[in-house]
A and B are shown apart, each in its own frame.
Chain A
Amino acid sequence: MQKVEPSRDSFSSRALLFVRTKISPMTLFWLVIISILVLPIILFLAVAFSPKLLDQGPEWFTFNSFKAAADPYFLQSIWHSFVMGVVSSLLATAIALGVAWIVLRTNSAARKVWSLAIFALLLAPSYLIALGWERIFERAGVLNIAGIDLPFIRDLLYGPVGIAMILTFKGIPFAYLVISNAMRGLGEEFEQAVRVHGGSRIAAFKMMSTLLLPALWSGIAIVFAESISDFGVASQLSSPGRYSVATFTLYRSVMSLPVSFPLCAAISIILLMLIILALFAQSRALRGRSFRVLSGRTRPITRKKLSKTGAFSANTAIYGLLFVTLGIPVFGAISASMIQGLGTVLANYQFNFDNYFRVIKSPLLRAPLLFSAEAALITATVAVILAAISSRLLVSTKNGLGKKFLDFFLLAAVGLPGIVFAIGYIFAYNLPLAQKYGFHLYGTVTLLVLAYIATALPSTTRSLVGNMNQFQESLSEACRVHGSNGIKTWLTVVLPLISRPLLAAWCLTYCGTLLELPVSQILFPPGHAPLAVGIDHALGNYDFGGGTAMEVFAIISALLVVAVAFGLYEKLAPIGWKQLGRARS
């Protein structure tokens, strides 16, 4: 018979061993988080108060950088950023909720198309989405050629309405991933309980939405942070004079003379305060309630069989949404990449694949694509592991300091535009003292990948939070009391139970990293240009056709990787993993 291992006299040595082993896994995790996430952010933000710290100004302590923020023009642009953030996050989450319900809870025929299209939507760079819309509404655009001139719509597009619309479209996939993961784990007994107590379908839907509140709020927070840190969409469709957002000033402060990181840091701090508002709202909304509903007792969902009109409405909604969010950028990409010269779209056009043939041989594409693909693979794998641990921390009931700390920095990383994050990396990893002792990561591929991981970590984490919230503690407690240590519990129970969301998170991170631009620009080592830098280069050289063809290639390659990943999962994963949250059709 097995006794408990320690005998009394060897307790102290065992306790020591225990303390040592207790330190390693989580301490390692925190060490990684601090190095890749906290340090760059803190150093960068510190420059707002102490420019001299990193040779960015004469003062050791000052508030001067914030004086620039008192400018009414700038305050207005902050307000614009806030409005864009709120509108896009609420809309994107609401749409995502509806779509998730149709796709997961009904037998709508459109659902299979959506599941694949979601990744294409994630991949579509904001430049392409905006370009597609421009193609249609611009002067000498498609509608013009067809004899339709809609200056009113054009004006709307090239302003806050257009920006908010495209930010919403870009936000829908993020919100959808979070909400759908949570919805999969939600048994139908709660909605059934509403119906048998006299509630209508709408009431049942409301009940389901309430139980999904943590996921909904996660979606809102992510989309809000992504939107206020956006630069690409706003700069494509508007200009500082027409509808200015905070990121305009931020980019200007670092990309043109006089370069002022203190000012940039001050603006970033202000953006972060907006995000703290979002976090605060989130915690108030979720305070004190229990949303733990995923357990062994959860039974798979039976899909609702829609009536004829119901099916028609649902399918129309999905296809319509896909057409608007995806079809238009695709049209933009095709038209831009297949037409010789970006002239008038239909008159005197030549549709051909010349750009594609040219580009496939171009060194600007092949090497960068391979490089970025490898980097994205590593990033996705590491980020997903870190994200799983982070998301578990974020949902733990113990309201420790670590949890609040992590929550803040993860959201800060989203809310800070990529470029400032990258600059923070230079500050952190180009320290003269460190270099003296041979520790110099700046200029290496390693640092670039670390930065990618840090940039990916926040959204990846939040995409898993919904599932972790539903994970019943007793499942992992049962592992511990039946002989598994912490790591084994993770590997055998926690990770398998969220295997599908993990896979989705992996794909999301892969796609995001493949086409990442701002961090790539600042941190890539010479001779290893990432894909987005290569594409940006082509576009900057007035080669719109070639640049867009490269984008299309990149997106197709990413979709292939996603398809392979899911295919492998379906083929190789144990049945028990796949049947979780699966609906009975």
Chain B
Amino acid sequence: MLAGSLTPVASAAEALQLYAALDYSTDVATAFTAKTGIPVNVTALSTGPLLAKITAEKNNPQWGAYWADGAEPCAAFDIDKQLLHYKPKGLRLNAVGMKLYPKNGAYQVPGFTEMVGVVYNSAKVRKPTSWDDLASADFKNQVGMNNPSISGPTYPFLAGLMEQLGSEDAMKAYLTKLKANGLRVFDKNSKTIAALNTGVVNVALVQSSAAITNVAKYKASPVAGLTPAVTYLQKTTVLPSCLAIDGKASTFQQDAAKKFADFVMTTDAVAIMTKSNVGDSLFWPAISGGLPAPATSRTPTFASGLLQVVDPYKYAPIQGRIQDWFTKNIA
């Protein structure tokens, strides 16, 4: 078995190399291959290791396409002139999608989630009403959030706070206030959720897909003393899932990646992505006519004034500094 696999599944000359941090990517790749006949090698990892690989391959990139939550990495790659700009023909985006899609076509945005969905244990605490509310006495020692240095989707949350509160300092002041109120920091979504489920915290600030998954899970099999519910506070930052094409890849890779982008930015692909109805699948499509997964009960729009979009090109360059500050002062 091992002997037969001494060479990769298909060599780089013959298959699209897709680095993806989203669960549904394998299913989408299979459907793409069935439709176009182009094989796809999916390297499925979380964002961190993917970024490490891509950066390490810089002098001889092996990847054709990158697909993960968060626009900041793509913006950073684009600033570094690593991406191929491309706009699929016949692209139709909904209102949120149009705001998220980069004008220069540096990356594709098939869908989005929200940072953050505020999961709270309704059996133990009341529903939080605003960001400042989380810093109040009612939520003292109750709140947990992810560490942006480790959790890929979390930095946009901080970027959103900076955007909403007006400045870097204002965001820092707010988080410092939360910290003084007993904020706990966990590595990533799964750990923060676990903290909520085991009662270490009663409010978890996590990615919306994680939040909805958890709520659905305990609705299906209730546990005494634990009734998660989710709410979204004014304002919640939209987190796009982004598909980028390597500008340094071979012609074959780029052509295949473009075709893949074409495929992904369709409602058919959205249907495949939402099929599992759990985890990453619980996103909202950016494509016009795309339907979200059944478990998501609302479709967000800008009409409510709840949502905001941040410019990744503005916030990507300072990500390191912000994360460092967070590590030293909040974590």
Contacts and interface: CB of A to CB of B under 8 A. Distances in A.
Interface stretch (B147-155, B265-273, B288-296): B147-155
Nearest to B188: A540
Given A259-B52, A261-B56, A526-B41, A241 B320 contact: no
Contacts, number: 186
Contacts of B42: 526-527
Interface string B88-116: 00000000000000000000000000000
A235 B186 CA distance: 9
A529 B186 CA distance: 27
A432 B8 contact: no
Contacts of B53: 426, 522
A430 B60 CA distance: 6
Interface in A234-278: 235, 239-242, 244, 248, 251-252, 254-261
Interface in A393-446: 419, 423, 426-427, 430-432, 435, 442-446
B38 interface: no
Interface string B299-331: 000000000000000001001100100011111
A522 to B, nearest CB: 6
B328 A73 contact: yes
Given A371-B2, A528-B5, A541 B190 contact: yes
A257 B60 contact: no
B52 A240 contact: no
B62 A442 contact: yes
Contacts of A525: 5, 8-9, 41
A244 B185 CA distance: 14
A176 B210 CA distance: 43
B125 interface: no
A521 interface: yes
A258 B331 contact: no
A341 B147 contact: no
A374 B1 contact: yes
A252 B2 CA distance: 34
B198 A526 contact: no
Secondary structure at the A interface, as helix, strand, loop or mixed, is loop
B246 interface: no
B53, B148, B185 interface centre (most CB from chain A within 10 Å)? B53
Given A241-B330, A257-B51, A427-B56, A542 B43 contact: no
A338 to B, nearest CB: 15
Contacts of A252: 149-150, 323, 327
A442 B58 CA distance: 13
A248 to B, nearest CB: 8
B44 A529 contact: yes
Contacts of B152: 256
Interface in B1-60: 1-2, 5-9, 12, 17, 23, 41-49, 51-53, 55-60
A371 B1 contact: yes
B8 A526 contact: yes
B221 A445 contact: no
B49 A347 contact: no
B214 interface: yes
A342 B200 CA distance: 12
Contacts of A240: 147, 149, 327-328, 331
A375 interface: yes
A378 interface: yes
A344 interface: yes
A371 B1 CA distance: 8
A241 B186 CA distance: 11
A255 B194 contact: no
B187 interface: yes
B76 interface: yes
Contact of A56 (B1, B46, B55, B72): B55
B55 A261 contact: yes
7 contacts: A140-B199, A241-B327, A256-B152, A341-B217, A371-B5, A444-B7, A542-B189
Given A239-B187, A537-B44, A540-B190, 13 more contacts: A239-B186, A252-B327, A255-B49, A256-B149, A256-B155, A257-B76, A259-B55, A261-B55, A341-B218, A341-B223, A347-B225, A533-B45, A541-B23
Interface of B: 1-2, 5-9, 12, 17, 23, 41-49, 51-53, 55-60, 62, 72-73, 76, 147-150, 152, 155, 185-190, 193-194, 197-200, 210, 213-214, 217-218, 221, 223-226, 279, 316, 319-320, 323, 327-331
Closest 8 CB pairs of A and B: A255-B48, A241-B331, A526-B41, A527-B9, A55-B59, A140-B199, A259-B55, A426-B56
